[in-house]
Amino acid sequence: MTTRLDPQLNAAPDNIRHIHIMGVCGTGMAAIAGMLKESGYRVTGSDQNVYPPMSDFLAQAGIDVMQGYVPENLEPRPDLVIVGNVIQAVFPEAQRLAELGIPYLSMPQALGYFFLGGEKPKKSLVVTGTHGKTTTSSLLASALHRADCSPGFLIGGIVEAFGRNYRLVKASILLWKGMSTTPPFSIRSPSSSITALITLF
């Protein structure tokens, strides 16, 4: 019998120190892992497919990544688990998460909670669409940087001007690439949005 996650635990607890990310090798998930690590949290992760360039990126950031979705990945017990959209309820690690009753967030919820809220909420600029999101987001990040706007950003691909796919700053603007599988307005209502190419199937 599959144990389901408790909806009442879908919230960030107080006094978070250790955050575990399931599906950490996705480009967006790796970026948010780096942002959390840079913010001072202990960050660990797991994924079924651990290989470059994301495995190298995470190793350089000092983030321990475990291969496969096994129950032991949640030992020692983290304070919060961020669950990627690739995770299925039948995965042993997901089952263990439900059994232990650990608070959890989705990637959009984590982005909103840790980086868009707070005492001084940031203005969020989201790029959506079927194709061209990474290119458009990268161009915008570079242009805003050259205009001395110093934006923070979370983008799937590595931005050549910065050598990474995220930038954590105290500026009032956060630019992020809406993932194809993540409704962009499920995070927080963005201040502005740009829609790149849309393909109708």
In a domain, 78, yes or no: yes
Specify whether 107 is located in the same domain as 13: yes
Convert the pLDDT of each residue in 30-59 to its tens digit: 999 999 999 999 999 999 988 888 899 899
Token pair for 173: 């603007």
Token pair for 172: 């009032």
Convert the pLDDT of each residue in 72-108 to its tens digit: 999 999 999 999 999 999 999 999 999 999 999 999 8
Domain extent for 170: 117-195
Distance CA 187, CA 113 (A): 9
Would the pLDDT of 62 be above 50?
yes
Specify whether 99 is located in the same domain as 131: no
Specify whether 89 is located in the same domain as 121: no
Backbone angles phi, psi at 150, to 5 degrees: 45, 60
Distance CA 111, CA 131 (A): 22
C-alpha dihedral sign at 14, 45, 136, 193: negative
pTM assigned to the model: 0.83
What letter represents residue 28's amino acid? G
Specify whether 13 is located in the same domain as 95: yes
Total domains in the chain come to 2
